[in-house]
Amino acid sequence: MPKHEERYCPRCNALFECKVGSISLCQCSTVVLTPSQKTYVSELFNGCLCANCLKQLQTEHSKMEQQQSLKRILGPYYKNNDH
């Protein structure tokens, strides 16, 4: 029998159903993360997160990677507009 349980997202505290017993049906399976993004998320949080937070962290990581690429390319001419 598949194991389903209600959990609270450690990032936003939203209640969601984790379907670890049938992962392909779990809400998190709608978010496809690259290996680098998976590492980023796992360094910040332990356990399951809601799909909304996974999407937000995916975007956050992508922006961070873009900023790092620009910094490498532009060197001393790089200006971060986030601050």
- pLDDT, one tens digit per residue, over 2-19 is 567 899 999 999 999 988
CA 14 vs CA 31, 53, 56, 65, 69: distances in Å: 17, 9, 14, 27, 33
Q: What is the pTM of this model?
A: 0.80
**What are the structural domain ranges in the chain?**
5-77
Phi, psi values for residue 76, rounded to 5°: -70, -10
Please tell me the predicted confidence (pLDDT) of residue 1.
44
pLDDT in tens, 17-63: 988 888 888 888 999 999 999 999 999 999 899 999 999 999 999 99
Q: Are 19 and 2 in contact (CB under 8 A)?
A: yes
Q: Specify the length of the chain in residues.
A: 83
